[in-house]
Homo-oligomer: A and B are copies of this chain.
Amino acid sequence: MNPSRKEFFKQAGAIVLGVAAGAGGTSLVSYAAPQSAAPTLPNPPWGYSKLDPQAAAERAYKGYYEAACMYGAFTGIVGELAAKAGPPYSSFPAMMMKYGEAGVVGWGTLCGALNGAAAAVYLLYAPAAGKPIINELYAWYGVEPLPVYRPRNPKRADTIVSSVSDSQLCHISITKWCLKSGFKSESPQRAERCARLAASVAYRAVELLNLQADGKFRPAHATTAAAARCLSCHGKGGMVDNVHISGQTSCTLCHADLSKHPVPIP
């Protein structure tokens, strides 16, 4: 259980090679064996310098088709910094972000574009500056008709309609779009929609990061009035305090039937 460092890496390398051989070998191509004189990277935050939102969106769009939504949004931001400035941005193992695909490997939880954008924000800014940016981005995502960004050279000529998700979850966001567009969730049109969504999120995130860089960031979206009403009892400091949610777009999307609410709703 406690091999020497050399033995440890020998084991790790053998495992990766074994896995690659047994699973199509895709990892073999990109795997570089750790070296004893391996480098270290700075701790976050790494700092941010203003980017062109459209360039970030185009990179996110392309990134979606390489490794899905979370990677797309993340590389739209961090990949643009890498292209401009090289390391440490270019050293980040960004391909790991593929895990966020479709609400994490298909589980439909958090929208991957939002997951990737938030990861990028905390890599670049300390929490005190990054958290308000994420709050604004998430609140915007819940109420904005998306996707809003049209790439310069779209992969598909289809008209991609926009829809409001009322939620930050992949499952709800996609189902609302399917109901409005008439396309199925596994259709290429839905994939194109998510590529443009990742681009839209990267675009908006960079706009917010640029405002922060200029000292001009001000939140424009907040928890909706309807959700705030629920949180006045169920949220932090409320009488019930049992939901652990600081920001939200809609509670009644899931809690649709309030007829059994134990007390009259104020």
A residues with CB within 8 A of B = 1-3, 5, 8-9, 11-13, 15-16, 18-20, 22-24, 26-27, 30-34, 38-50, 52, 84-88, 90-93, 95-100, 102-110, 114-115, 118-119, 121-123, 125-131, 134-135, 138, 168-171, 174-175, 178-179, 184-186, 190, 212-213, 215, 236-237, 240-248, 253-254, 256-257
Contacts and interface: CB of A to CB of B under 8 A. Distances in A.
A118 B92 contact: no
B34 A87 contact: yes
A225 to B, nearest CB: 17
Given A30-B44, A123-B93, A138 B15 contact: no
State the number of copies, please: 2
A232 B92 CA distance: 39
Contacts of A168: 104, 107, 109
Given A1-B50, A107-B138, A121-B99, A128 B23 contact: yes
Contacts of A93: 41-44, 46, 92, 123
B244 A186 contact: yes
Contacts of A30: 43-45
Given A186-B241, A248-B107, A126 B170 contact: no
A44 B123 CA distance: 18
B123 A96 contact: yes
A91 B88 CA distance: 11
A38 B106 contact: no
Given A118-B104, A242-B185, A42 B47 contact: no
A174 B240 CA distance: 13
A246 to B, nearest CB: 3
Contacts of A19: 45, 125-126, 128-129, 212
A30 B125 CA distance: 12
A103 B9 CA distance: 34
A246 B118 contact: no
Nearest to A257: B257
